[in-house]
Amino acid sequence: MRGAVIHAPGDVRFEERADPVIEAPTDAIIRLTATCVCGSDLWTYRGVDPITAPTPMGHEYIGVVEEVGSAVGTIRPGQFVVGSFFASDDTCEICRAGFHTSCVHRIPIGSIGSQAEYLRVPLADGTLVATHELPSADLLPSLLAASDVLGTGWYGAVAAEVRPGSTVVVVGDGAVGLLGVLAAKQLGAERIIAMSRHESRARLAREFGATDVVAERGDDGVQAVKDRTDGLGAHSVIEAVGTQESMMQAIRSARPGGAVGYVGVAHDVTLPGEELFYSHVRILGGPAPVRRFLPDLLDRIQAREIDPGKVFDLELPLGQVAEGYRAMDERRSIKALLWP
Ligand SMILES: [Zn+2]
């Protein structure tokens, strides 16, 4: 088969890779229907995360099951499935508590590489969720979004304790931030303040339910939030960037007793203990346990209640994966969908 392999910063190639085979009896092999480039792939693409050898890329995927190992019980060949970026057993104590990305048996899909024609999915029964029937073509982008960015934005909103009537701030206007807006709206937020200075992204944020768009960043952004919340700050803040500035902006935008859900992959972030102590702000984040939310999200998509696939503003054949990376790196595209 063929798939994406990164050789050096900025050097993604579409090349021959070994066909995946069943390695453990709990594995499944799926033929990918669609895959995509993630904002977090750009950390590798830009050389922030080191590349020591040619590495397969990608961790988002939807597809049709081709083959299952002898110990797979509920997943069957022919099913259309969605999985997330960590394989998980869905049975250990950590999974049962809803934190599948810390499953005691977790395996990162990024270490296998889903920007390809086929994918081996470990722990298939725990990792994959099958749709009731083969979905119609127009639902595919939204189902693919559920694999990571929708589930991650959703977890950000849940971690930020968004409730009916809440005022919510979303820091970050990438795909995760935009879908954090969608999640906050679905969870009943009354006021949603999206931080964005890009016209097309701000427009999509409004479409997903943002009531306010604020262009200021850092302390000015915090002040703009305070100005809109009687000086108190927001009940809930979703942080979807992962830098020192965005994290502090998120914490300072929350009111005492409020909560921050942080889902931007943190890079060189240091939190000041004393300021946190006096802030009375709860923080919960980390790699989103997307698997917890997948059954509910797939139902909402198939019922056409939500259309998260709108974050894909570029569609390419998988063979042009390098252009997908370039377009996202240069911020010409929010998110690139790849058709194998
Ligand atoms: Zn587990």
Tens digit of each residue's pLDDT (9 = 90 or more) over 218-254:
999 999 999 999 999 999 999 999 999 999 999 999 9
Q: How far is 22 from 68, CA to CA, in rounded Å? A: 7
Rounded distance from Cα 312 to ligand 1 centre (Å)? 31
Q: How confident is the model at residue 210 (pLDDT cuts 50, 70, 90)?
A: very high
Residue 316 has what pLDDT?
98
Tens digit of each residue's pLDDT (9 = 90 or more) over 267-304: 999 999 999 999 999 999 999 999 999 999 999 999 99
Task: Indicate the fold that domain 153-285 takes in CATH.
Answer: Rossmann fold (3.40.50)
Q: How confident is the model at residue 19 (pLDDT cuts 50, 70, 90)?
A: very high
Tens digit of each residue's pLDDT (9 = 90 or more) over 108-142: 999 999 999 999 999 999 999 999 999 999 999 99
Rounded distance from Cα 75 to ligand 1 centre (Å)? 17
Contact 61, 85 (CB under 8 A): no
Q: pTM for this one?
A: 0.97
Q: How far is 245 from 33, CA to CA, in rounded Å? A: 38
Report the percentage of the chain scoring pLDDT > 90: 98
Rounded distance from Cα 291 to ligand 1 centre (Å)? 11
Q: How far is 235 from 63, CA to CA, in rounded Å? A: 38
Q: How confident is the model at residue 50 (pLDDT cuts 50, 70, 90)?
A: confident
Q: Is 80 exposed, middle or buried (0-12, 13-18, 19+ CB in 10 A)?
A: buried
Q: Where in the chain is the domain with CATH 3.40.50.720?
A: 153-285
Rounded distance from Cα 102 to ligand 1 centre (Å)? 7
CA 273-276-281 angle, 5° bins: 155
**Which CATH number describes the domain made up of 2-148+289-339?**
3.90.180.10
At 334, phi and psi to the nearest 5?
Answer: -70, -50
Tens digit of each residue's pLDDT (9 = 90 or more) over 158-191: 999 999 999 999 999 999 999 999 999 999 999 9
- Tell me what the pLDDT averaged over the chain comes to: 97
Coil, strand or helix: which one is 143? helix
Residue 9 has what pLDDT?
97
Rounded distance from Cα 98 to ligand 1 centre (Å)? 9
Residue spans of alpha helices (H) in the chain: 41-45, 93-96, 124-127, 140-146, 149-159, 175-186, 199-208, 218-227, 244-253, 273-279, 290-302, 321-329
Distances (CA, A) of 199 to 173, 195, 215, 312: 11, 11, 10, 16
What is the rounded average pLDDT of the residues 28-57? 95
Q: Where in the chain is the domain with CATH 3.90.180.10?
A: 2-148+289-339
- Both structure tokens of 4: 């994406």
Closest CA to 30 of 39, 19, 41: 19
Q: How far is 247 from 166, CA to CA, in rounded Å? A: 20
Rounded distance from Cα 91 to ligand 1 centre (Å)? 5
Rounded distance from Cα 144 to ligand 1 centre (Å)? 23
Closest CA to 236 of 272, 276, 187: 187
Residue 91 has what pLDDT?
98
Tens digit of each residue's pLDDT (9 = 90 or more) over 75-95: 999 999 999 999 999 999 999
Query: 3-state secondary structure string, 248-285?
Result: HHHHHHEEEEEEEEECCCCCCCCCCHHHHHHHCCEEEE
Residue 49 has what pLDDT?
85
The residue whose two tokens read 């937020």 is 189
Residue 296 has what pLDDT?
98
